[in-house]
Amino acid sequence: MRIVQKYGGTSVGTFDRIKNVANRVHQLYKEGHEVAVVVSAMSGMTNKLISMAKEMADEPSEREMDVLVSTGEQQSIALLTMALHELGVPAVSVTGRQAGVRTKGSNTRARIEDIDPAYMNKMFTEGNVIVAAGFQGINTDGEIQTLGRGGSDLSAIALAHSVDADICQILTDVNGVYTADPRVVKNATKMDEISYEELLELASVGTKVMQSRSVEFAKKFNVPFEVRSSLNNEPGTLVTEEKPSMESVVIRGVSIERNQARVTITDIPDEPGWSGKILTALGASEVNIDMIISNIANDGKARHSFTMNSDDLGRAQAALKSVLADLPEGALETEAGIAKLSCVGIGMRSHSGVAATMFGALGEAGINIGMISTSEIKISVTVDEAQIDDAAQVVHDAFELGS
């Protein structure tokens, strides 16, 4: 098998951990696999480099930040390759450039344009384990660019695609993707598999296993990947395109998002244009809105409600002042201290009664539902933040997701 593995900064955060990664790769090599390992900078290194930059300038140039910060991964790949050599494994390091990663867009948050796998394929053919720097590439001008948050996952998935790997493994400090956060729901279980789309919906509501764009890239190019632990050899969770068998599972998982707030604007005239004005004002103030609900009351006036992170509440109130000034009867209601609970599953498409089960379970537990929002494979509700853990548990139980 041709395997691409990705180890994050914590997994290569000390010399001993680098040696541990080398041992794991050695094992795969002995089993006859072709292996490419994508690594991040040693944990703490990127922050250290950023603080060096801050000594030079309050707002260092992003081009130069990329030149500086990309040295972190370059150091990791050299060190891991040396450790592999000590175990007798033929290995070569490759920077983003050598891996053929061509980037585009702004420095510090570039996109992967394409990957030329020629050099990596040559290294495979010569029998080497490849140790590739994640998070980086070069643009068409030959300038170093980094990919921003979660960039190493993206590197791994893109490299796996370009070298036509059989599997891409994202090694992390959890055993896989769980039906719920195990710190909240004690009997949460690890999933064997999940579709890209389900993971995207779970990721967007607080289960931060991976950045959405890495999953989206995998989905776009159909790159199967596995989230698994770097601390043991247990199978993790396989993330693939949707399969017919997946529909038999009604709800894949439950996720929660704390520290939410609701803003409601009342008595909006039932005329075109108000929704646009409101959203434009919030957007201009960089308030990230999550759920959006609009209702017409009996008097024919509309009510718009939004949820957002509580930290954005002050900015949202300020942004909406000008809109309210144009609304003679309008008022602003705000509510902090709420949280969001979501059920996600592609089985929802073919199974009815999901909402009934969810709302029923919450009602039986005496948990009041605030806002409700649904998509094709997700149902989200807001509840009082103090009740969110209980809410997650009863809904998890209602769908029999526990072990």
Q: Which residues bind its own copies (CB under 8 A)?
A: 15, 18-19, 49, 52-53, 55-57, 60-61, 63-65, 67-68, 70-71, 74-75, 77-79, 81-83, 85-86, 92-93, 95, 97-98, 119, 142-144
Specify the residue, 68 or 392, whose C-beta has the smaller distance to its own copies: 68
Q: Min. distance of Cβ 30 from its own copies in angstroms?
A: 19
Q: Min. distance of Cβ 57 from its own copies in angstroms?
A: 5
Exposure on the CB side of residue 314, measured as CA atoms within 13 A: 1
Cα 378 to Cα 349: distance, rounded to the nearest angstrom: 10
By CB neighbour count within 10 A (0-12 exposed, 13-18 middle, 19+ buried), where does 204 fall? middle
Q: Min. distance of Cβ 144 from its own copies in angstroms?
A: 8
Cα 35 to Cα 26: distance, rounded to the nearest angstrom: 9
Cα 21 to Cα 19: distance, rounded to the nearest angstrom: 5
Cα 20 to Cα 353: distance, rounded to the nearest angstrom: 48
Cα 234 to Cα 219: distance, rounded to the nearest angstrom: 24
Specify the residue, 92 or 362, whose C-beta has the smaller distance to its own copies: 92
Specify the residue, 103 or 172, whose C-beta has the smaller distance to its own copies: 103
Cα 292 to Cα 287: distance, rounded to the nearest angstrom: 13
Specify the residue, 64 or 113, whose C-beta has the smaller distance to its own copies: 64
Q: Min. distance of Cβ 142 from its own copies in angstroms?
A: 6
Termini Cα distance of the chain: 32
Specify the residue, 18 or 291, whose C-beta has the smaller distance to its own copies: 18
Specify the residue, 64 or 390, whose C-beta has the smaller distance to its own copies: 64
Specify the residue, 22 or 338, whose C-beta has the smaller distance to its own copies: 22
Residue type, 340: K
Q: Min. distance of Cβ 119 from its own copies in angstroms?
A: 7
Phi then psi for residue 89, to 5 deg, are -90, 125
Residue 256 carries which DSSP code?
A: E
Q: Min. distance of Cβ 105 from its own copies in angstroms?
A: 18
Residue 289 carries which DSSP code?
A: E
Residue type, 50: I
Tokens for 52, please give them: 């060096």
Q: Min. distance of Cβ 97 from its own copies in angstroms?
A: 7
Specify the residue, 93 or 382, whose C-beta has the smaller distance to its own copies: 93
* Beta-sheet strands, E only, within 42-87: none
Specify the residue, 67 or 365, whose C-beta has the smaller distance to its own copies: 67
Q: Residues 178, 179, 180, 186: what is their CA dihedral angle, to the nearest 10 degrees?
A: -90
Q: How far is CA 295 from CA 122, 263, 358, in A?
A: 61, 14, 22
Pick the closest to residue 259 from 385, 392, 390, 373 (CA basis): 385
In sign, the C-alpha dihedral spanning 49, 55, 59, 60 is negative
Q: Min. distance of Cβ 85 from its own copies in angstroms?
A: 5
Q: Min. distance of Cβ 133 from its own copies in angstroms?
A: 9
Specify the residue, 100 or 345, whose C-beta has the smaller distance to its own copies: 100
By CB neighbour count within 10 A (0-12 exposed, 13-18 middle, 19+ buried), where does 173 fall? exposed
Q: Min. distance of Cβ 56 from its own copies in angstroms?
A: 4
